[in-house]
Amino acid sequence: MKTFTKLGLLTLATCLSFSAHAHRSWMLPSATILSGDAPWVTVDAAVSNDIFYFEHFPLQIEGVGQPFARPGAQQPPQAADGKPAPQPMQRPRASLQIQRPDGSLAQPQFGNTGRYRSTFDVELDQKGTWKLAIANQGLFASYELDGERKRWSGKLEDIKAAIPAKADKLQVTRSSSRMEVFVTSGAPSEQVLKPTGKGLELAPSTHPNDLVQGEAARFVFLLDGKQAANVKVTLIREGIRYRDTLDEIELTTNDQGEFSVDWPQAGMYWIEAVSSMPVKDDSPVTQRRDSYTATLEVMAP
Amino acid sequence: MRKLFLPLALLTASPLLSAARMDIDVEIPRLDVAEYHRPYVALWLEQDGRHVANLNVWYDIKMKDNEGEKWLKDMRQWWRRSGRTLEFPVDGVSAATRAPGVHNLTFSASDDALKGLQAGEFQLLVEAAREVGGRELLRIPLQWPIDQQQTGEARGSHELGRIAATLTP
């Protein structure tokens, strides 16, 4: 039980940045294409193995409900010698940015964090395309000390103090992750699609709220604002519980960072892209890993 | 000579005096369902795969706070082609939903909607979406301009009945 709690928190802490591992973080909007004066969307946010099923942890978001802790996890577990064991690594709740079509920021409403998911609502009080984004940066190290495998995460300037000089097989990974959802009230607009120039980002040629089954959509991935070649892209359609195979679509960006998808079926899709490369500079960082995920809705023709 | 020439020129060249028209019969089927709501219906014209003009959009225009506009997007193809760029209500296009039965609509060839057509084939599209029901899209190919009598027809299977277009020169 103790191990389980600890593992759970550790998983929660790392999955935001290391989403290629089994647990995935995602946001699922109730709709992406809306009509009317000021329609609302409600959004589920969770961390799970199976895309769009609530079965592991809520995605904890600042300003959305109360922080979730497993019952009993508040008490520090006892180590074998009777002293309190060290607290498992905890991260602050994710910071959600809700961007209006004109770039101004809105707040999530009616937020709640439950056992398996967080939910919040957004009133689309401006026409055009909105972006909901959670972006994270982190620094992770793994090494061996006297044959034992260790992990560490923290700030670059603390690395020297935290990791003994005699550490073996030291790997320091600088990571960034970005998770996005786009929703459009009325006609699609472009303002929120402008890249920030940091980490891995989607630069859509086809508007992300104008995707239709049977039509090819074209996108570009950018890494720090530059076209990112050879990025692995995975797409998974909703409803995996009701089929035998994942039916993943796996693609790789070309030299211009582009890829295109011919949507086989309508539905919500989870898209993930990961870029990994060695870092050769004066810092202790040995590699960087940048990931991007989004939930895209493909309409029936 | 001059007196004779002027009226003749008007008759042949001016569409204003032309009686050419498009009549459309739209059948809303009577459905035996526990909860019935009249469908939202959009009628529009396309040419070469591009939206040319809206003829009519039937939706709940009477609801308070324009709540009826919330479901316009359910006519998803029309919404994508045109609806999403419009401010509602649209003069001469927005109209109330209609009861089951056959509704006759008439558009003069000189109406703004039809004037945007180029010579050649065009399509009349009819899309219906019903609350707690389904959605259906029908298209009828027709020819522009109206040189001779033409008819086109399509039949829906659940949300729409028979749609018939008659073009009269």
**Residue B76 touches chain A, beta carbons under 8 Å:** yes
Range scoring the smallest mean pLDDT among A18-27, A146-155, B57-66? A18-27
Question: Which residue does chain A place closest to B137, by CA atoms?
Answer: A301
pLDDT at A139 (0 to 100): 95
Residue A199 has pLDDT above 70, yes or no: yes
Average pLDDT over residues B131-140: 97
Query: Are the CB atoms for A27 and A60 separated by under 8 Å?
Result: no
Interchain pair A187, B84: CB under 8 A: yes
Interchain pair B80, A299: CB under 8 A: yes
**Residue B30 touches chain A, beta carbons under 8 Å:** no
Report percent pLDDT > 70 for chain A: 86
Q: Chains A, B: CB contacts under 8 A, how many?
A: 35
Q: CA torsion sign, A152 to A154 to A158 to A159? A: positive
B8 or B98, which is more confident: B98
pLDDT at A202 (0 to 100): 97
Residue A70 has pLDDT above 80, yes or no: no
Average pLDDT over residues A84-111: 84
Query: Is residue B5 situated within a structural domain?
Result: no
Helix (H) or strand (E) holding A145: strand A128-145
Question: Which residue does chain A place closest to B136, by CA atoms?
Answer: A301
A201 or A23, which is more confident: A201
pLDDT classification of A18: cutoffs 50, 70, 90: very low
**Residue A39 touches chain B, beta carbons under 8 Å:** yes
Q: Which residues contact B136 (CB under 8 A, 6 or more apart)?
A: B127, B128, B156, B157, B158, B159, B160
Alpha-carbon distance A12 to A43, whole Å? 19
What CA–CA distances, in Å, run from A203 to A136, A175, A208, B35? Answer: 19, 20, 10, 44
Residue A21 has pLDDT above 60, yes or no: no
pLDDT at A7 (0 to 100): 41
A39, A184, A300: residue with CB nearest B70 = A39
Residue B81 token pair: 């082609």
Contacts of A35 in chain B (CB under 8 A): 69-73, 79, 83-84
**Residue B91 touches chain A, beta carbons under 8 Å:** no
H runs (alpha helix) in chain A: 2-15, 159-162
Question: Which residue does chain B place closest to A211, by CA atoms?
Answer: B80
**Residue B63 touches chain A, beta carbons under 8 Å:** no
Domain count, chain B: 1
Range scoring the smallest mean pLDDT among A32-36, A103-107, A128-132, B8-12? B8-12
pLDDT at A14 (0 to 100): 43
Sole residue written with tokens 């919500």? A268
Query: Is residue B1 situated within a structural domain?
Result: no
- Own/partner pairs, A81-87, CB within 8 angstroms, 24+ separation: A85/A2
Contacts of A36 in chain B (CB under 8 A): 66-67, 69-70, 72
**Residue A266 touches chain B, beta carbons under 8 Å:** no
Query: Is residue B130 situated within a structural domain?
Result: yes
The boundaries of the domain holding residue B25 are 19-168
Question: Which residue does chain B place closest to A209, by CA atoms?
Answer: B80
Any idea how long chain B is? 169
What's the ipTM? 0.86
Interchain pair B69, A35: CB under 8 A: yes
**Residue B83 touches chain A, beta carbons under 8 Å:** yes
Interchain pair B84, A184: CB under 8 A: yes
**Residue A148 touches chain B, beta carbons under 8 Å:** no
Question: Which residue does chain A place closest to B65, by CA atoms?
Answer: A37
Query: Is residue B111 situated within a structural domain?
Result: yes
Average pLDDT over residues B23-27: 98
H runs (alpha helix) in B14-148: 76-81, 112-115
Q: CA torsion sign, A44 to A46 to A50 to A56? A: negative
**Residue A267 touches chain B, beta carbons under 8 Å:** no
Query: Is residue B75 situated within a structural domain?
Result: yes
Chain A contact probe: residue of B60, B70, B86, B90 with most A CBs at under 10 A: B70
Average pLDDT over residues A104-115: 97
pLDDT at A17 (0 to 100): 42
**Residue A34 touches chain B, beta carbons under 8 Å:** yes
Query: Are the CB atoms for A183 and A132 separated by under 8 Å?
Result: yes
Query: Is residue B9 situated within a structural domain?
Result: no
pLDDT at B96 (0 to 100): 97
pLDDT classification of A22: cutoffs 50, 70, 90: low
Query: Are the CB atoms for A233 and A212 separated by under 8 Å?
Result: no
Residue A111 has pLDDT above 80, yes or no: yes
**Residue A186 touches chain B, beta carbons under 8 Å:** yes
pLDDT at A6 (0 to 100): 41
pLDDT in tens, A288-297: 999 999 999 9
- At residue B94, the 3 state secondary structure works out as strand
Residue B1 has pLDDT above 60, yes or no: no
Contacts of B89 in chain A (CB under 8 A): none
Query: Is residue B86 situated within a structural domain?
Result: yes
B65, B73, B85: residue with CB nearest A33 = B73
Contacts of A188 in chain B (CB under 8 A): 84
Cis status of the peptide bond prior to B145, with omega within 30 of 0: yes
A33, A37, A187: residue with CB nearest B69 = A37
Report percent pLDDT > 90 for chain B: 88
Question: Which residue does chain B place closest to A189, by CA atoms?
Answer: B85
Shortest distance between the Cα of B143 and any Cα of chain A, in A, equals 25
Helix (H) or strand (E) holding A252: strand A249-252
Domain ranges of chain A: 2-299
Alpha-carbon distance B147 to A30, whole Å? 49
Average pLDDT over residues A167-185: 96
pLDDT at B19 (0 to 100): 85
